[in-house]
A = this chain, B = another copy of it.
Amino acid sequence: MTGPARREEGGKSRRGTQERALRRREALLDAAVDLLGEGGFTAVTHRAVAERAGIPLAATSYYFSSRDELVADAFALLVERDLLRMRASAAEAGAGSLVESARTILRTYAPDRGRQLGLWELYLQAGREPALQHIARTWTDGWHDIVRTLLDRAGHPCGDDEVRFVATLVSGLWLELLVEDRPGSPERAGETVARALRAITECR
């Protein structure tokens, strides 16, 4: 009755918590992430998560004290994975030009529309629930860092303003691309990014 097996800092398993329990908790989180991608925020219910993870219903209440906590943890995990993936994609495409990098990153995420929509959904939710604020900021900061790295590596080191400028523009374009998938939009988005980069690199 003391409390379920929370992930203590450092990822190290706490004394007294069993191995299997941690794996089950992760399975639940994975299921939650998947469901969020498939059906959005409202699809992440205790029952759906439990069934997806192949774990009895009561377990979800055992590992997460409330649905809000479950969603918040799923959000954090999603952000973490997203940034990891983005960093990897950026590193892989770091050699070519900036526009080419942007195109590579875009390709990486193309088959992942649902998950991205879910991520934005939760990000928006953070505007209403202060408990999610911290995670939302982590996402933004991480993304800005990636853009900064990318700009640096391309030989155009920028101040915070320029980084913010490019990062926000790309985010906005991407969100629009995600929501309204109009024909020809990806190409136009690419041109818009190129124009922004030109403005930063050529102009001074």
Contacts and interface: CB of A to CB of B under 8 A. Distances in A.
Contacts of A165: 169, 192, 195-196
Interface string A162-176: 101100110111011
A35 B29 CA distance: 31
A203 B172 CA distance: 23
Contact of A203 (B123, B125, B127, B203): B203
B128 A117 contact: yes
Most buried by B among A113, A136, A168: A168
Interface of A: 40, 42, 113, 117, 120-121, 123-128, 133, 136-137, 140, 161-162, 164-165, 168-169, 171-173, 175-176, 178-180, 182, 188, 191-192, 195-196, 199-200, 202-203
